[in-house]
Structure 1
Amino acid sequence: MTTVAVPQVPVRLARFVLRMFRPHIYATYGLLWVLALEGSAVALTGTAWRPSGATWVRVVSVVLALLFLRMLDEEKDLEYDRVHHPDRPLVTGAISVVELRGAVAAITVVVAALNATQSATAVLLVLAALGYGILLAVLERLSAPVRDRQLLNLAVTYPVQLLLGVYVYGSLVAAGTVTADWHGAVLLVLCACVFLHVEFARKTAWEAEPGARLYSARIGPRRSAGVTAGFAAGAVGCQVLLFAPYGPLGLLPCLTAALPVWGTRRFLATRRGGWPLPAAMGFVVGTYLLLAVEAVLLP
């Protein structure tokens, strides 16, 4: 019997993706984010929304962009991981820098090709997000303050998420599906608040190991908890602003506010450990899922 050799690079990349990207988390996040943003943008025009072929181009593009950014982070954080995460694939040699860079280049080509089927604007917007990710990797390597100061790092790195949101909304505008107006700006703020809620939640704890990259280590656990809760409140406020005119159904996603309220009370009451991440993740998933469902039902 002849044994067929399996190419090692695809296998190594697949193992990296399954371990470090966790498709059930990142892909689900990308899917719900795009459906919520696109669906809400269309529903607010008074038009019935249903996912289309262009919707799935946006979903695949955003998920691949998130993988692209995760691969850049792996290389960027190599020195930190040698000390704090010695079991990471790049540290152990389970994947190489050359292999990751090849995958990054391949993702760029695939994403550009996908969006070329939609519009030149879509291609430019998604490449702007990927380009900013590369710029960040270079900037963090060259600038110690950007690399080491947690809040400065967030201020510099967060815009890549904003650019992906602009890509989704801008591609809708370019396709003539929606007309750019203030609703789009509020939707982007809503998505920013949802993302920053879970970003602060996962880096908020009462205790921190030396060198740990936690916001609570910089501003204190109570202040970090207040910021975490504040972003959730901002997301709910944006929902009210956008959808209150549609009555009770329009405010359905606001029910997820119960999760950050519970998370805040639990974190402050226990005074040990970290923010309850299931509550933060539930807020993200619940908000985006209900926004997508609402977009189907509203018109």
Structure 2
Amino acid sequence: MIGRLVRFVAGSFPPLPYLLATLLWAGGLTGLAAAADGHTWAPGAGLAGTAATLFVDMLIIRALDDIRDLDYDRRVHPARPLAAGLVRTSDLLTLVAVGAAAILAANAGRGGAWWLLAAQLAYLGGLVFVNARWHWPATDNLLAHLPLNVPVQLLLCAYVYAAYQHDHHRPLTARGLLVVLAVLLALLHVEFARKVPRQVRAPERSYVRDLGLPGAVAVAAATAVLSAACAIAAVGAEARGWLAVVPLAAPALAGWQFRRRRLPRWPTPPTLAYVLSSFAVFVAVGLLTGAAA
């Protein structure tokens, strides 16, 4: 089983990119929350534990998504490890069970953060069970799936914020909720932008099929702009708050490339650069706030 899981990780979950993403996700949300509080902050052991939890949780999500999308992947992505028979469903379920138990144990004693993490894992497992048992939702319409999938990311963002609150003894604030929303919107930008082909070919899932090309592009752009706006509103209209605007250069570049070069798909590198640079800027804003305090 170990060998099959190694093949799964190699094919579906390259560790280094996910490690970087989860480190910046945890650090960015925590740093921005500290800046919103005007609280002196520096990365520490608590943040490392939060990032490790996110990394394992993302592995669990990837495994459950591959189980849920098996029929679709057999038609559209037959080279994926589960669709190709390189790993078994039972292997992935074992991975999910062990991983979930490990991160819940690691977060024991973190108060509300533990409950949010448990709720996210239970919700995610419920989605997969309902889909496997009743094949619902039985559609490739991504807009039908979106309201079901967004709570997974929302609960993870809320978990990171609650972990920050617990570790630094900070209260829940309206600005803190704006921080959670800023990070969630940045993640939603990636969700929309990576599924924008110029022409949709059956049976590919795409927001273009549901919103049209202008509509899908507009939503992708709006999520990025609103993320920056929420970050600025959370921190305040100070110089360091306006740093949140800088990562918008990446989706602007992507839009220019997509239109000017008539690319077949919305370019991936600027999309990934946007979300990673947004989180990196949020870390910088948190550190600058601590330095100015």
Smaller-chain TM-score bracket: over 0.9
Gaps (5+ residues) in structure 1? 1-8
Matching of residues 68-217 of structure 1 within 5 Å: 68-116=60-108, 118-141=109-132, 142-145=134-137, 147-217=139-209
**Aligned residue in 1 for 2:12:** 20
TM-score by length of 2: 0.93
Matched, 1:237 2:229: yes
Considering Cα pairs closer than 8 Å and 6+ residues apart, tell me whether 1 or 2 has the greater RCO: 2
Matching of residues 59-74 of structure 1 within 5 Å: 59-74=51-66
Pairwise CA distance, 1:149: 2.0
**Aligned residue in 2 for 1:54:** 46
Q: 1:283 aligns with which of 274, 283, 287?
A: 274
Pairwise CA distance, 1:258: 1.3
Instruction: Give the conservation status (yes or no) of the 8 Å contact 1:207–1:272.
Output: no
Instruction: Give the conservation status (yes or no) of the 8 Å contact 1:204–1:221.
Output: yes
Residue 155 of structure 1 aligns with an amino acid whose one-letter code is P
Instruction: Give the conservation status (yes or no) of the 8 Å contact 1:125–1:166.
Output: yes
Pairwise CA distance, 1:187: 0.8
**Aligned residue in 2 for 1:4:** none
Instruction: Give the conservation status (yes or no) of the 8 Å contact 2:232–2:244.
Output: no
Pairwise CA distance, 1:175: 4.0
Query: Per-residue displacement from partner, 1:123-176 (whole Å, max 9, x unpaired)?
Result: 222111111111111233324446422111011111101001111112233345
Divergent runs of 4+, >4 A = none
Is the alpha carbon distance of 1:146 and 1:155 closer, same or farther for their aligned partners in structure 2, counting shifts above 3 Å? farther
Is the alpha carbon distance of 1:199 and 1:174 closer, same or farther for their aligned partners in structure 2, counting shifts above 3 Å? same
Query: Per-residue displacement from partner, 1:47-94 (whole Å, max 9, x unpaired)?
Result: 211112111111111111111010001111111111112222112221
Is the alpha carbon distance of 1:20 and 1:109 closer, same or farther for their aligned partners in structure 2, counting shifts above 3 Å? same
Deviates more, 1:125-134 or 1:257-266: 257-266
Percent sequence identity is 29
Instruction: Give the conservation status (yes or no) of the 8 Å contact 1:76–1:140.
Output: yes
Give the distance between the partners of 2:31 and 2:249, measured in 1 at CA: 23
Is the alpha carbon distance of 1:144 and 1:46 closer, same or farther for their aligned partners in structure 2, counting shifts above 3 Å? closer
Give the distance between the partners of 2:91 and 2:137, measured in 1 at CA: 29
Instruction: Give the conservation status (yes or no) of the 8 Å contact 1:78–1:90.
Output: yes
Give the distance between the partners of 1:126 and 1:150, measured in 2 at CA: 25
Q: 1:249 aligns with which of 240, 246, 257?
A: 240
Gaps (5+ residues) in structure 2? none
